[in-house]
Amino acid sequence: MKGYIVTFFTQQSRGQGDLTIAKWLVNKARQLGIRGATVLSGQEGFGHDGRYHSESMFDLEDRPMQVVLVLTEEECERMFDAINQEGLAIFYTKTATEFGITSS
């Protein structure tokens, strides 16, 4: 199949309602019938505002997070429509890819 690898970048402390943005993205992907999502926690980084984020003892709630999805074009459109309807502003990268499952 052809589609996209979409990676969303956020912080642990960033939320939407009672959920973190990362959890919201995973839940929304599941609701939309998307096959899977992977959440990665970063040790440290800085955002577009130049603010430093890390998982140090003093800043555990603000560590960088990534949510990675492999999507068909149609799934990608549905995911971004849901994000836009919710009014979220989330930095992302979107890369064209080919994907599938190897035969056993």
Condensed to tens digits (0 to 9), the pLDDT of residues 40-93 reads 987 666 666 666 555 555 555 577 899 999 999 999 999 999 999 999 999 999
pLDDT at position 45: 65
The fold of 2-98 is Alpha-Beta Plaits (3.30.70)
Band of the pLDDT at 35, cuts 50, 70, 90? very high
pLDDT at position 88: 95
Alpha helices in the chain (DSSP H): 21-31, 73-86
Residue 88 neighbours by CB under 8 Å, 6+ apart:
16, 21, 24
As a whole number, mean pLDDT of residues 29-46 equals 87
Structure tokens at 39: 């959440």
